[in-house]
Amino acid sequence: KEEIEKKKKRLRSSLKSIKTNPDAISSRIGKVLKYGKEHPYGEIQTIEDIDNLNSESCKEYYNCYFIPNISYMVIVGDINVNEAKILVKKYFSTWEARDIKKGTYEKPEKINGVRVTFVEKPGAVQSVISVIYPIKYKVGADNAHNVQVMSSIFGGAFSSYLNANLREDKAYTYGARGYVSPDKWVGSFRAGASVRNEVTDSSITEILYEMKRIRNEEVSKEDLNRIKNNLMGNFALSLEDPKTIARFALNIERFNLPKDYYQTYLSKLQEVDVSNVEEAANEFIHPDNCIILVVGNKDIAKTLRKFDSDGIIEYYDIDGNLQEREEIPLPEGLTAQDVINDYLMAITNKSSMDD
């Protein structure tokens, strides 16, 4: 019980520190928005969750999920198969298999239109911008190499469209990135950056522009070859690390990949052409159907309404709860001069009444 209480104290402290970290807030709320609180990927830890932890619930979890029939053991080193089998049998043969509890969950819904969501971070001098949505994209998909190249050109590499635009050209940020990420159950898209308050709306405009650009404009052969060479070089270097070999072996088993998946990686990467990149972009890059999440100073929220399909911003707290906040759209046809005239009329009338 003493150990449990120590752990709970650390968890409470960690959760409290999230309030001061806009990047952590963005990651936390992004999960809720992409997957929903009812999906395992959308679950976020709350104080109530921590308070409810006890030794019995930990034991129950351990007994349910720490079992050999859903486990993998990968061994990489100066050892042969027979030696490895002897050791595994010696130390794990008494580990009993058991049935596992399996849940069923609804797949996250596709985003329709553009939703602008906002989490207030008082006193923030920067905005953390994330453009996000779930996608149907599994590890080892037939077009995985095409998607990896496209994703790197768009936002994954230092020389990507996003970084070249927001960092090198506009100087809005120290770095902008975007990724199309596969998963066994449900993949995801994310593009974003941390930018100065005053360029928050301009940065979103540029992110959406680059999303449209990768879909509509043919990538240059120079960009294509540079990214492919970069990916191939990184892959070759990674093979020097035994942990990489272990991860590859595990991936083949976990995701039911072809046995030669990594042996043919370089040749398949080399085959990716301009048309493959265009196809991948049109399948996974959706600037007109996405969630725009901004964590920052509340004063910049009003500048984001123009991006939302229905003109209404959704406000959330750090626990992913929707906040009731009235969004009153501007009257149609209202101009800056109208506001000035109304203000002058109001103070003139007030002056007359005071007299």
Burial annotation 93-132 (CB, 10 A radius, 16+ → b, else e): eeeeeeeeeeeeeeebeebeebbbbbbbbeebebbbbbbb
Q: Are 168 and 195 in contact (CB under 8 A)?
A: no
The pTM (predicted TM-score) of the whole model is: 0.87
Neighbours of 82 (CB within 10 A): 7
What pLDDT sits at residue 220? Answer: 96
The residues with which 29 forms a beta bridge, in sequence order, are none
Neighbours of 298 (CB within 10 A): 14
For residue 199, give the nearest of 174, 170, 164 by alpha carbon: 170
> Residue 156 corresponds to which tokens in the numbers above?
């994954």
Bridge pairing between strands 176-181 and 126-135: unpaired
CA pair distance 23, 301, nearest whole angstrom: 17
One digit per residue, the tens of pLDDT, for the chain of length 355 reads 899 999 999 999 999 999 899 999 999 999 999 999 989 999 999 999 999 999 999 999 999 999 999 999 999 999 999 999 999 999 999 999 999 888 888 889 899 999 999 999 999 999 999 999 999 999 999 999 999 999 999 999 999 999 999 999 999 999 999 999 999 999 999 999 999 999 999 999 999 999 999 999 999 999 999 999 999 999 999 999 999 999 999 999 999 999 999 999 999 999 999 999 999 999 999 999 999 999 999 999 999 999 999 999 999 999 999 998 655 555 666 676 777 777 677 777 655 545 5
Q: What are phi and psi of 188, to 5 degrees?
A: -155, 155
Q: Are 198 and 173 in contact (CB under 8 A)?
A: no
CA pair distance 343, 12, nearest whole angstrom: 49
Q: Are 308 and 330 in contact (CB under 8 A)?
A: no
The residues with which 120 forms a beta bridge, in sequence order, are 296
